[in-house]
Chain A
Protein backbone atom coordinates (compact mmCIF):
# COMPACT_ATOMS: atom_id res chain seq x y z
CA UNK A 1 0.00 0.00 0.00
CA UNK A 2 1.19 3.51 -0.86
CA UNK A 3 0.28 6.16 1.69
CA UNK A 4 0.87 9.90 1.38
CA UNK A 5 0.35 12.04 4.48
CA UNK A 6 -0.06 15.84 4.44
CA UNK A 7 2.46 16.26 1.64
CA UNK A 8 3.36 19.81 0.59
CA UNK A 9 6.00 20.95 -1.85
CA UNK A 10 7.60 24.32 -2.48
CA UNK A 11 9.92 25.10 -5.40
CA UNK A 12 11.94 28.30 -4.96
CA UNK A 13 9.45 29.34 -2.25
CA UNK A 14 6.53 28.90 -4.66
CA UNK A 15 3.85 26.50 -3.44
CA UNK A 16 3.32 23.64 -5.92
CA UNK A 17 0.86 21.58 -3.84
CA UNK A 18 -0.23 21.60 -0.22
CA UNK A 19 -1.52 19.10 2.35
CA UNK A 20 -1.95 16.27 -0.10
CA UNK A 21 -3.27 12.99 1.29
CA UNK A 22 -3.52 9.82 -0.73
CA UNK A 23 -3.72 6.10 -0.17
CA UNK A 24 -3.58 3.49 -2.90
CA UNK A 25 -4.18 -0.11 -1.87
CA UNK A 26 -3.32 -3.32 -3.66
CA UNK A 27 -5.23 -3.80 -6.90
CA UNK A 28 -6.02 -0.09 -7.28
CA UNK A 29 -5.31 2.32 -10.10
CA UNK A 30 -5.20 6.08 -9.65
CA UNK A 31 -4.88 8.82 -12.21
CA UNK A 32 -3.67 12.35 -11.53
CA UNK A 33 -5.27 14.81 -13.86
CA UNK A 34 -4.66 18.52 -14.17
CA UNK A 35 -3.75 21.36 -16.43
CA UNK A 36 -0.15 22.06 -17.50
CA UNK A 37 2.01 23.22 -14.64
CA UNK A 38 -0.41 22.00 -11.98
CA UNK A 39 2.35 19.90 -10.37
CA UNK A 40 1.51 16.36 -11.59
CA UNK A 41 5.08 15.43 -12.56
CA UNK A 42 6.47 17.16 -9.47
CA UNK A 43 4.12 15.10 -7.29
CA UNK A 44 5.32 11.84 -8.87
CA UNK A 45 8.96 12.90 -8.40
CA UNK A 46 8.33 13.77 -4.75
CA UNK A 47 6.76 10.35 -4.19
CA UNK A 48 9.87 8.76 -5.73
CA UNK A 49 12.13 10.91 -3.53
CA UNK A 50 13.80 12.43 -6.62
CA UNK A 51 12.55 15.75 -5.28
CA UNK A 52 12.76 16.22 -1.56
CA UNK A 53 9.72 17.44 0.33
CA UNK A 54 10.34 18.81 3.79
CA UNK A 55 6.65 18.70 4.73
CA UNK A 56 4.69 15.46 4.89
CA UNK A 57 5.49 11.76 4.78
CA UNK A 58 5.25 8.92 2.29
CA UNK A 59 4.88 5.31 3.37
CA UNK A 60 5.28 2.15 1.32
CA UNK A 61 3.97 -1.06 2.91
CA UNK A 62 3.90 0.74 6.28
CA UNK A 63 7.49 1.99 6.15
CA UNK A 64 8.66 5.54 5.59
CA UNK A 65 10.26 5.53 2.13
CA UNK A 66 13.03 7.96 3.11
CA UNK A 67 14.35 5.41 5.59
CA UNK A 68 13.88 2.45 3.23
CA UNK A 69 14.44 4.06 -0.15
CA UNK A 70 16.11 1.12 -1.91
CA UNK A 71 13.45 -1.33 -0.62
CA UNK A 72 10.85 1.04 -2.09
CA UNK A 73 12.74 1.30 -5.40
CA UNK A 74 13.08 -2.46 -5.48
CA UNK A 75 9.30 -2.73 -5.86
CA UNK A 76 8.77 0.29 -8.13
CA UNK A 77 8.90 0.90 -11.86
CA UNK A 78 8.98 4.54 -12.92
CA UNK A 79 8.15 5.45 -16.51
CA UNK A 80 9.08 9.05 -17.13
CA UNK A 81 7.62 11.47 -19.64
CA UNK A 82 11.01 11.44 -21.38
CA UNK A 83 12.56 8.36 -22.96
CA UNK A 84 15.22 6.62 -20.91
CA UNK A 85 16.34 4.42 -23.79
CA UNK A 86 19.76 5.28 -25.19
CA UNK A 87 19.30 6.56 -28.73
CA UNK A 88 22.60 5.16 -29.97
CA UNK A 89 21.93 1.61 -28.76
CA UNK A 90 19.66 -0.93 -30.43
CA UNK A 91 16.22 -1.85 -29.09
CA UNK A 92 17.57 -5.18 -27.85
CA UNK A 93 20.64 -3.58 -26.19
CA UNK A 94 18.34 -1.26 -24.25
CA UNK A 95 16.07 -4.13 -23.23
CA UNK A 96 19.09 -6.18 -22.13
CA UNK A 97 20.30 -3.28 -20.00
CA UNK A 98 16.92 -2.87 -18.28
CA UNK A 99 16.56 -6.64 -17.92
CA UNK A 100 19.92 -6.87 -16.15
CA UNK A 101 19.28 -3.89 -13.90
CA UNK A 102 15.97 -5.27 -12.66
CA UNK A 103 17.24 -8.89 -12.55
CA UNK A 104 14.29 -9.82 -14.74
CA UNK A 105 13.69 -13.52 -15.22
CA UNK A 106 12.35 -13.07 -18.75
CA UNK A 107 14.38 -14.97 -21.35
CA UNK A 108 15.02 -14.08 -24.99
CA UNK A 109 11.93 -16.00 -26.12
CA UNK A 110 9.72 -13.96 -23.76
CA UNK A 111 11.35 -10.75 -24.97
CA UNK A 112 10.62 -11.68 -28.57
CA UNK A 113 6.97 -12.33 -27.68
CA UNK A 114 6.77 -8.96 -25.92
CA UNK A 115 8.31 -7.17 -28.89
CA UNK A 116 5.80 -8.89 -31.16
CA UNK A 117 2.88 -7.80 -28.98
CA UNK A 118 4.05 -4.19 -29.12
CA UNK A 119 4.80 -4.53 -32.85
CA UNK A 120 8.50 -3.81 -32.33
CA UNK A 121 10.04 -7.15 -33.28
CA UNK A 122 11.23 -5.94 -36.69
CA UNK A 123 13.20 -3.17 -34.96
CA UNK A 124 14.96 -5.50 -32.50
CA UNK A 125 18.42 -4.73 -33.92
CA UNK A 126 17.65 -1.17 -34.97
CA UNK A 127 19.13 1.78 -33.09
CA UNK A 128 16.52 3.67 -31.08
CA UNK A 129 17.39 6.92 -32.90
CA UNK A 130 15.74 5.51 -36.05
CA UNK A 131 12.42 4.71 -34.31
CA UNK A 132 9.37 7.00 -34.34
CA UNK A 133 8.35 8.80 -31.13
CA UNK A 134 5.42 6.40 -30.60
CA UNK A 135 7.64 3.35 -31.06
CA UNK A 136 10.18 4.71 -28.55
CA UNK A 137 7.32 5.26 -26.10
CA UNK A 138 6.17 1.64 -26.59
CA UNK A 139 9.74 0.46 -25.97
CA UNK A 140 9.75 2.49 -22.77
CA UNK A 141 6.51 0.89 -21.64
CA UNK A 142 8.04 -2.56 -22.10
CA UNK A 143 9.92 -1.91 -18.85
CA UNK A 144 6.62 -2.39 -16.98
CA UNK A 145 6.41 -6.03 -18.00
CA UNK A 146 10.16 -6.57 -18.03
CA UNK A 147 10.74 -5.44 -14.44
CA UNK A 148 7.58 -7.05 -12.95
CA UNK A 149 7.45 -4.70 -9.96
CA UNK A 150 4.42 -4.22 -7.74
CA UNK A 151 4.12 -0.42 -7.94
CA UNK A 152 3.95 1.29 -11.31
CA UNK A 153 4.39 5.06 -11.41
CA UNK A 154 3.96 6.59 -14.86
CA UNK A 155 4.16 10.11 -16.19
CA UNK A 156 2.05 10.72 -19.31
CA UNK A 157 2.04 7.06 -20.44
CA UNK A 158 -0.51 7.65 -23.23
CA UNK A 159 1.49 10.33 -25.05
CA UNK A 160 2.33 9.50 -28.70
CA UNK A 161 0.50 6.13 -28.63
CA UNK A 162 -1.89 4.99 -31.38
CA UNK A 163 -5.34 3.50 -30.62
CA UNK A 164 -4.13 -0.11 -30.68
CA UNK A 165 -1.23 0.64 -28.35
CA UNK A 166 -3.56 2.49 -25.97
CA UNK A 167 -5.78 -0.59 -25.90
CA UNK A 168 -2.78 -2.84 -25.16
CA UNK A 169 -1.62 -0.48 -22.41
CA UNK A 170 -5.10 -0.40 -20.82
CA UNK A 171 -5.21 -4.19 -20.86
CA UNK A 172 -1.71 -4.31 -19.32
CA UNK A 173 -2.92 -1.99 -16.54
CA UNK A 174 -6.01 -4.16 -15.93
CA UNK A 175 -3.89 -7.34 -15.80
CA UNK A 176 -1.55 -5.70 -13.28
CA UNK A 177 -4.30 -4.55 -10.90
CA UNK A 178 -5.93 -7.98 -11.18
CA UNK A 179 -2.67 -9.38 -9.83
CA UNK A 180 -2.90 -7.00 -6.82
CA UNK A 181 -0.46 -4.51 -8.36
CA UNK A 182 -0.69 -0.76 -7.73
CA UNK A 183 -0.68 1.90 -10.46
CA UNK A 184 -0.33 5.67 -10.13
CA UNK A 185 -0.13 7.72 -13.29
CA UNK A 186 -0.37 11.32 -14.42
CA UNK A 187 -2.09 11.98 -17.73
CA UNK A 188 -4.38 14.33 -19.63
CA UNK A 189 -5.90 11.36 -21.43
CA UNK A 190 -9.11 9.77 -20.12
CA UNK A 191 -8.63 6.00 -20.42
CA UNK A 192 -11.56 3.63 -20.24
CA UNK A 193 -10.53 1.53 -17.26
CA UNK A 194 -13.02 0.28 -14.70
CA UNK A 195 -12.63 1.47 -11.09
CA UNK A 196 -10.14 4.11 -12.11
CA UNK A 197 -9.82 6.71 -9.36
CA UNK A 198 -9.08 10.25 -10.53
CA UNK A 199 -7.40 12.96 -8.47
CA UNK A 200 -7.90 16.39 -9.95
CA UNK A 201 -4.91 18.70 -9.47
CA UNK A 202 -6.82 21.72 -10.74
Chain B
Protein backbone atom coordinates (compact mmCIF):
# COMPACT_ATOMS: atom_id res chain seq x y z
CA UNK B 1 0.00 0.00 0.00
CA UNK B 2 2.86 2.30 0.95
CA UNK B 3 4.58 1.51 -2.36
CA UNK B 4 1.43 2.43 -4.32
CA UNK B 5 1.21 5.66 -2.33
CA UNK B 6 4.78 6.53 -3.33
CA UNK B 7 3.97 5.88 -7.01
CA UNK B 8 0.88 8.09 -6.73
CA UNK B 9 3.02 10.77 -5.07
CA UNK B 10 5.57 10.56 -7.88
CA UNK B 11 2.92 11.13 -10.56
CA UNK B 12 1.35 13.95 -8.54
CA UNK B 13 4.73 15.70 -8.39
CA UNK B 14 5.42 15.06 -12.07
CA UNK B 15 2.01 16.45 -13.09
CA UNK B 16 2.65 19.61 -11.05
CA UNK B 17 6.09 20.02 -12.62
CA UNK B 18 4.68 19.56 -16.13
CA UNK B 19 1.89 21.98 -15.34
CA UNK B 20 4.51 24.54 -14.27
CA UNK B 21 6.57 23.80 -17.39
CA UNK B 22 3.61 24.01 -19.79
CA UNK B 23 5.52 26.55 -21.92
CA UNK B 24 8.12 23.88 -22.78
CA UNK B 25 5.39 21.49 -23.89
CA UNK B 26 3.62 24.16 -25.92
CA UNK B 27 6.84 25.12 -27.66
CA UNK B 28 7.30 21.46 -28.71
CA UNK B 29 3.80 21.40 -30.19
CA UNK B 30 4.34 24.76 -31.89
CA UNK B 31 7.60 23.42 -33.35
CA UNK B 32 5.65 20.42 -34.68
CA UNK B 33 2.99 22.59 -36.36
CA UNK B 34 5.45 25.11 -37.76
CA UNK B 35 7.49 22.27 -39.28
CA UNK B 36 4.30 20.93 -40.89
CA UNK B 37 3.55 24.40 -42.31
CA UNK B 38 7.08 24.56 -43.72
CA UNK B 39 6.60 21.21 -45.46
CA UNK B 40 3.15 22.08 -46.79
CA UNK B 41 4.34 25.42 -48.19
CA UNK B 42 7.47 23.82 -49.64
CA UNK B 43 5.58 21.01 -51.38
CA UNK B 44 2.86 23.16 -52.92
CA UNK B 45 -0.83 22.46 -53.39
CA UNK B 46 -0.73 19.03 -55.03
CA UNK B 47 -3.32 17.18 -52.91
CA UNK B 48 -2.26 13.77 -54.16
CA UNK B 49 1.41 14.39 -53.33
CA UNK B 50 0.56 15.69 -49.85
CA UNK B 51 -1.68 12.72 -49.19
CA UNK B 52 0.91 10.16 -50.32
CA UNK B 53 3.81 11.48 -48.23
CA UNK B 54 1.85 13.15 -45.40
CA UNK B 55 1.98 10.26 -42.97
CA UNK B 56 5.74 9.87 -43.32
CA UNK B 57 6.28 13.58 -42.76
CA UNK B 58 4.01 13.67 -39.69
CA UNK B 59 5.84 10.70 -38.14
CA UNK B 60 9.28 12.18 -38.87
CA UNK B 61 8.26 15.50 -37.32
CA UNK B 62 6.76 13.78 -34.29
CA UNK B 63 10.10 12.11 -33.82
CA UNK B 64 12.05 15.37 -34.05
CA UNK B 65 9.60 17.18 -31.76
CA UNK B 66 9.79 14.52 -29.08
CA UNK B 67 13.61 14.61 -29.04
CA UNK B 68 13.43 18.31 -28.13
CA UNK B 69 12.25 17.54 -24.60
CA UNK B 70 14.69 14.71 -23.93
CA UNK B 71 17.29 16.86 -22.22
CA UNK B 72 15.00 17.41 -19.22
CA UNK B 73 14.05 13.74 -18.88
CA UNK B 74 16.41 13.11 -15.92
CA UNK B 75 18.68 16.16 -15.80
CA UNK B 76 16.84 18.28 -13.19
CA UNK B 77 16.17 15.39 -10.81
CA UNK B 78 19.73 14.17 -11.24
CA UNK B 79 21.34 17.55 -10.61
CA UNK B 80 19.33 18.41 -7.50
CA UNK B 81 19.59 14.93 -5.97
CA UNK B 82 15.87 14.05 -6.11
CA UNK B 83 16.80 10.73 -7.74
CA UNK B 84 18.87 9.86 -4.65
CA UNK B 85 16.10 10.92 -2.25
CA UNK B 86 13.56 8.89 -4.21
CA UNK B 87 15.90 5.87 -4.25
CA UNK B 88 16.50 6.20 -0.51
CA UNK B 89 12.75 5.98 0.05
CA UNK B 90 12.97 2.36 -1.09
CA UNK B 91 12.52 2.46 -4.86
CA UNK B 92 15.17 1.06 -7.21
CA UNK B 93 16.68 3.23 -9.94
CA UNK B 94 15.22 0.81 -12.52
CA UNK B 95 11.70 1.36 -11.22
CA UNK B 96 12.28 5.13 -11.05
CA UNK B 97 13.25 4.95 -14.75
CA UNK B 98 10.07 2.98 -15.49
CA UNK B 99 7.95 5.61 -13.71
CA UNK B 100 9.77 8.39 -15.59
CA UNK B 101 9.01 6.66 -18.92
CA UNK B 102 5.31 6.41 -18.06
CA UNK B 103 5.23 10.03 -16.90
CA UNK B 104 6.98 11.18 -20.10
CA UNK B 105 4.49 9.15 -22.14
CA UNK B 106 1.51 10.67 -20.30
CA UNK B 107 2.59 14.27 -19.92
CA UNK B 108 4.83 14.90 -22.95
CA UNK B 109 3.74 12.48 -25.68
CA UNK B 110 -0.02 12.33 -25.12
CA UNK B 111 -0.67 16.05 -25.72
CA UNK B 112 0.57 15.42 -29.30
CA UNK B 113 -2.37 13.04 -29.72
CA UNK B 114 -4.75 16.01 -29.82
CA UNK B 115 -2.64 17.73 -32.46
CA UNK B 116 -2.55 14.71 -34.81
CA UNK B 117 -6.06 15.08 -36.33
CA UNK B 118 -5.37 18.79 -36.94
CA UNK B 119 -2.01 17.98 -38.57
CA UNK B 120 -3.74 15.37 -40.74
CA UNK B 121 -6.05 18.04 -42.22
CA UNK B 122 -3.03 19.87 -43.70
CA UNK B 123 -2.04 16.73 -45.62
CA UNK B 124 -5.58 15.84 -46.60
CA UNK B 125 -5.25 12.37 -45.06
CA UNK B 126 -8.25 10.02 -45.35
CA UNK B 127 -10.05 9.31 -42.07
CA UNK B 128 -8.92 5.67 -41.92
CA UNK B 129 -5.27 6.80 -42.08
CA UNK B 130 -5.93 9.30 -39.27
CA UNK B 131 -7.32 6.47 -37.11
CA UNK B 132 -4.28 4.35 -37.91
CA UNK B 133 -1.97 7.27 -37.20
CA UNK B 134 -3.54 7.79 -33.76
CA UNK B 135 -3.39 4.09 -32.97
CA UNK B 136 0.24 3.70 -34.05
CA UNK B 137 1.17 6.93 -32.27
CA UNK B 138 -0.14 5.63 -28.93
CA UNK B 139 2.20 2.63 -29.20
CA UNK B 140 4.98 4.43 -31.06
CA UNK B 141 5.17 7.27 -28.54
CA UNK B 142 5.67 4.71 -25.76
CA UNK B 143 8.64 3.36 -27.75
CA UNK B 144 9.92 6.94 -28.18
CA UNK B 145 9.65 7.51 -24.41
CA UNK B 146 11.61 4.31 -23.78
CA UNK B 147 14.30 5.34 -26.27
CA UNK B 148 14.30 8.83 -24.78
CA UNK B 149 14.90 7.39 -21.32
CA UNK B 150 17.94 5.41 -22.51
CA UNK B 151 19.33 8.39 -24.40
CA UNK B 152 18.73 10.89 -21.56
CA UNK B 153 20.27 8.61 -18.94
CA UNK B 154 23.28 8.10 -21.22
CA UNK B 155 23.61 11.86 -21.49
CA UNK B 156 23.99 12.10 -17.70
CA UNK B 157 27.36 10.44 -18.26
CA UNK B 158 28.31 12.69 -21.13
CA UNK B 159 26.99 16.16 -20.49
CA UNK B 160 29.09 17.89 -23.11
CA UNK B 161 27.64 16.14 -26.15
CA UNK B 162 23.85 15.96 -26.12
CA UNK B 163 23.62 15.08 -29.82
CA UNK B 164 24.86 11.49 -29.22
CA UNK B 165 21.63 10.72 -27.33
CA UNK B 166 19.48 12.23 -30.09
CA UNK B 167 21.37 10.23 -32.74
CA UNK B 168 20.67 7.07 -30.75
CA UNK B 169 16.93 7.87 -30.61
CA UNK B 170 16.79 8.57 -34.36
CA UNK B 171 18.72 5.41 -35.17
CA UNK B 172 16.57 3.08 -33.10
CA UNK B 173 13.33 4.67 -34.20
CA UNK B 174 13.83 3.64 -37.85
CA UNK B 175 11.90 0.34 -37.33
CA UNK B 176 9.19 2.34 -35.56
CA UNK B 177 8.81 4.64 -38.59
CA UNK B 178 8.85 1.68 -41.03
CA UNK B 179 6.06 -0.18 -39.23
CA UNK B 180 3.99 2.89 -38.29
CA UNK B 181 3.94 4.31 -41.81
CA UNK B 182 3.79 0.89 -43.47
CA UNK B 183 0.65 -0.06 -41.57
CA UNK B 184 -1.38 2.08 -44.02
CA UNK B 185 0.31 0.82 -47.14
CA UNK B 186 -0.25 -2.85 -46.41
CA UNK B 187 -3.83 -2.88 -45.18
CA UNK B 188 -4.07 -6.66 -45.48
CA UNK B 189 -1.20 -7.02 -43.04
CA UNK B 190 -2.58 -4.48 -40.58
CA UNK B 191 -2.70 -6.85 -37.60
CA UNK B 192 0.70 -8.42 -38.24
CA UNK B 193 2.38 -4.99 -38.46
CA UNK B 194 0.39 -3.73 -35.48
CA UNK B 195 1.47 -6.76 -33.45
CA UNK B 196 5.09 -6.18 -34.47
CA UNK B 197 4.84 -2.60 -33.25
CA UNK B 198 3.32 -3.79 -29.99
CA UNK B 199 6.12 -6.33 -29.66
CA UNK B 200 8.79 -3.65 -30.14
CA UNK B 201 7.07 -1.50 -27.49
CA UNK B 202 7.06 -4.37 -24.99
CA UNK B 203 10.72 -5.21 -25.69
CA UNK B 204 11.75 -1.58 -25.11
CA UNK B 205 9.55 -1.33 -22.02
CA UNK B 206 11.51 -4.29 -20.67
CA UNK B 207 14.97 -3.11 -21.70
CA UNK B 208 14.95 0.63 -21.13
CA UNK B 209 14.20 0.81 -17.34
CA UNK B 210 17.00 -1.67 -16.75
CA UNK B 211 19.55 0.12 -18.96
CA UNK B 212 18.48 3.60 -17.80
CA UNK B 213 18.82 2.48 -14.17
CA UNK B 214 22.35 1.22 -14.90
CA UNK B 215 23.30 4.52 -16.59
CA UNK B 216 21.87 6.56 -13.69
CA UNK B 217 23.88 4.53 -11.17
CA UNK B 218 27.02 4.99 -13.26
CA UNK B 219 26.38 8.73 -13.59
CA UNK B 220 25.90 9.08 -9.81
CA UNK B 221 29.21 7.32 -9.24
CA UNK B 222 30.94 9.77 -11.59
CA UNK B 223 29.22 12.89 -10.25
Contacts and interface: CB of A to CB of B under 8 A. Distances in A.
Given A89-B20, A101-B6, A73 B90 contact: yes
Contacts of B89: 73, 101-102
B21 A86 contact: no
A23 interface: no
Contacts of B17: 86, 88-89
Interface in B1-24: 2, 5-6, 9, 13, 16-17, 20-21
Given A73-B88, A102-B89, A80 B81 contact: yes
Contacts of B16: 89, 93
A86 B84 contact: no
A158 interface: no
B86 interface: yes
A162 B90 CA distance: 34
A85 B76 CA distance: 11
Nearest to A98: B85
B79 to A, nearest CB: 8
Interface residues of A, number: 26
Contacts of B127: none
A11 to B, nearest CB: 9
B81 A88 contact: no
B interface bracket (residues with beta carbon within 8 Å of A): 20 to 34
Contacts of B82: 84, 86
Contact of A101 (B9, B21, B79, B80): B9
Interface of B: 2, 5-6, 9, 13, 16-17, 20-21, 76, 79-82, 84-90, 220-221
Contact of A103 (B2, B80, B88): B2
A184 to B, nearest CB: 15
Contacts of B85: 78, 84, 98, 101
A85 B87 CA distance: 15
A50 to B, nearest CB: 6
In the A-B complex, the 10 residue pairs with the smallest Cβ-Cβ separation, listed nearest first, are: A100-B9, A101-B89, A73-B88, A88-B20, A84-B81, A80-B81, A70-B90, A84-B85, A97-B13, A84-B80
A132 to B, nearest CB: 17
A100 B20 contact: no
A80 B84 contact: yes
A89 B81 contact: no
Nearest to B87: A73
Nearest to A87: B80
Nearest to B9: A100
The winner among B6, B21, B84 for most chain A CB atoms within 10 A is B84
A51 interface: yes
Chain A contact residues, majority secondary structure: loop
Interface of A: 48, 50-52, 70, 73-74, 76, 78, 80, 82-89, 93, 97-98, 100-103, 127
Nearest to B6: A101
Contact of A97 (B9, B80, B87, B220): B9
B95 to A, nearest CB: 12
A80 B182 CA distance: 51
Nearest to A97: B13
Nearest to A103: B2
B21 A85 contact: no
Max chain A C-beta neighbours (<10 A), residue from B6, B76, B89, B221 = B89
B12 to A, nearest CB: 8
Contacts of A82: 79-81
Contact of A86 (B6, B80, B90, B220): B80
Looking at B9, B21, B82, B88, which has the most chain A CB atoms within 10 Å of its CB?
B88
Contacts of B20: 88-89, 127
Contacts of A83: 80-81
A102 B221 CA distance: 24
Q: Which of A48, A73, A76, A101 gathers most chain B CB within 10 Å?
A: A101
Nearest to A71: B90
